[in-house]
Amino acid sequence: MRVIDDSRWGQTRYRYNTNDQILHTLFEGARPHEERFSYDANGNLSQHLPTDARGAMEQLNQRQQAGRVVQQGNIRYRYDDNGRLVEKTEQRDGFRPQIWRYRWDTQNQLTHCETPDGSRWQYKYDPFGRRLQKLRIHDGKLAATNLQLWLAGKPDLEPKADATMGKNYLWSGDQLIEETPIYADGTPAESQHIRWLYEPGSLTPSARFELGKLHYVVSDHQGTPREMLNEAGQLIWAQRLRTWGQTDRSQVIASNDADYHVDCNFRFMGQYEDEESGLYYNRYRYYSPKTGQYISPDPIGLYGGENPYGYVHNPTGWVDPLGLAECPLIERIINDANKVASPDGHITPKQAEILRGNSPVIQRRSAAQNRFVRKEFEKTQKYLMKQWESNTGRKWPTGATPHHIIPLESGGANKWWNLMPTYGKLPNHSLPGIPGPHAAGGVLRTTIQQGRKALPPGTITDLRL
């Protein structure tokens, strides 16, 4: 990914080193910003040079120890014997140190966070490691106010009955499908719950439902929500993520608008921002957009990569939706294909499983081989569509054309499990406003097709990586 054009935010440009790591990001438009990065010999981020719209540059040197960040600029990080972050201290000249403290359970799950104002938050999980609740069990600001009242001989203030102190969460597999606020007395605010809908078989949200109102989510090529629209198509929320996930938000409607409260805490795919800590809950771990790393080691050890604290080596082309490992190429191809699937034509979990099992590695075909398999497909197309119907239990959508999920020229198979119906227009299978898998910026174009100049015949690609 070299350039992203966005009508609201302007153009974003990226420059890389030979290891496919980002060296320079230039955010143009109404809120310009620039970021430069350096890496150490182990590939860890060692320096961050952000420049704001006024041209003021800040130098943040990031010191690593055993793969984890121990200091970034004026912030120090302390870990326990198990490598989990237990304290973050920010020093600013003329101010008291700002300290965050963290507690963990025996499953390496973050259970408590104490913020600089003295507030304490508690996190609870189900047996599958999914977070079910976050609750503010001590309000530091209220306690400080009550201390002053006590010193003045006045009665304490009680939390407002309708004040929200946290949220309950409901899951469907790895999809967070519902958020319910919790009142100060511990009662769930059922009438205010928010439901999330997703693209089929994906962690990319497609819509938000609250109080009978639907808001549509517009996401980028990585599955990161960028905008939300109301049912009339009016833009009511917008965000932009910087290189490693820090947010820039844009106020697009008036503060007295009925939709002004509508928000979205989803960041990189699979991540949910906790405003109290500045961390992103990432299913099995918590991610710090400040450092571009996790705050605890990978539960799957070195299977997740050489650095147990690392996120992904390139956040413009990779995601880590579960906090375990970079998303394999086959998953990104499936997610991209599903964006242009016809209604009721998305890749089913069964089909995706067969696709993974039968195509772990592909080899690019020569021009002659490609002509041969294309002729074969023309002969067997209707038969393969019937097989697709038989195996998925669905009828092939009228007027939809078959799309090879893994292209034939790249080594894809002429099998039903490599087909998907789409109304997208050739040659890229694009839909209005949705670039197809073969279009510029699509996963296929940036990986196994390599732009307009295709990879040479015989090139082998491991889709499990």
Q: Render pLDDT for 406-455 as a digit per residue (tens, 0 to 9).
A: 989 889 999 999 999 999 887 777 788 777 777 776 778 777 776 555 67
Residue 303 confidence class, pLDDT cut points 50, 70, 90: low
294 and 350 in a single domain? The answer is no
Residue 80 confidence class, pLDDT cut points 50, 70, 90: very high
125 and 214 in a single domain? The answer is yes
CA distances from 284 to 128, 202, 237, 280, 294 (A): 9, 17, 28, 11, 10
Q: Is residue 273 part of a domain?
A: yes
98-107, 139-148, 228-237, 322-331: least confidently modelled range: 139-148
Distance CA(301)–CA(325), nearest Å, equals: 10
Paired tokens of 371: 């002509």
225 and 266 in a single domain? The answer is yes
Instruction: Look at residue 161 and tell me whether its pLDDT is greater than 70.
Output: no
Q: Is residue 202 part of a domain?
A: yes
Q: Is residue 45 part of a domain?
A: no
Instruction: Look at residue 385 and tell me whether its pLDDT is greater than 90.
Output: yes
274 and 366 in a single domain? The answer is no
Distance CA(291)–CA(314), nearest Å, equals: 14
Residue pair 241/268 in contact by the 8 Å Cβ criterion:
yes
5-19, 102-116, 139-153, 301-315: least confidently modelled range: 139-153
354 and 260 in a single domain? The answer is no
Q: Is residue 430 part of a domain?
A: yes
CA-based nearest residue to 217, from 200, 201, 198:
198
Distance CA(72)–CA(347), nearest Å, equals: 43
- Measured from the Cβ of residue 379, the count of other Cβ atoms closer than 10 Å reads 9
CA distances from 64 to 31, 46, 212, 454 (A): 31, 8, 49, 39
Whole-number mean pLDDT of the chain? Answer: 89
Distance CA(414)–CA(356), nearest Å, equals: 15
Q: Is residue 398 part of a domain?
A: yes
Q: Is residue 403 part of a domain?
A: yes
Q: What is the pLDDT of residue 330?
A: 82
429 and 379 in a single domain? The answer is yes
At which residue do the structure tokens 């650095």 appear? Answer: 307
116 and 176 in a single domain? The answer is yes
243 and 145 in a single domain? The answer is yes
Its domain, for residue 382, covers 329-462
Q: Is residue 39 part of a domain?
A: no
Give per-residue pLDDT as tens, 332-380. Answer: 788 788 888 898 888 887 888 888 888 777 888 998 999 999 999 999 9
The type of residue at 230 is N
167 and 202 in a single domain? The answer is yes
283 and 428 in a single domain? The answer is no
Residue pair 432/417 in contact by the 8 Å Cβ criterion:
no
Total domains present in the chain: 2
Higher pLDDT pick, 97 / 464: 97
Instruction: Look at residue 145 and tell me whether its pLDDT is greater than 80.
Output: no
Q: Is residue 247 part of a domain?
A: yes
Paired tokens of 57: 């540059």
Terminal Cα-to-Cα distance of the chain (whole angstroms): 18
Q: What is the pLDDT of residue 464?
A: 64
268 and 417 in a single domain? The answer is no
132 and 274 in a single domain? The answer is yes
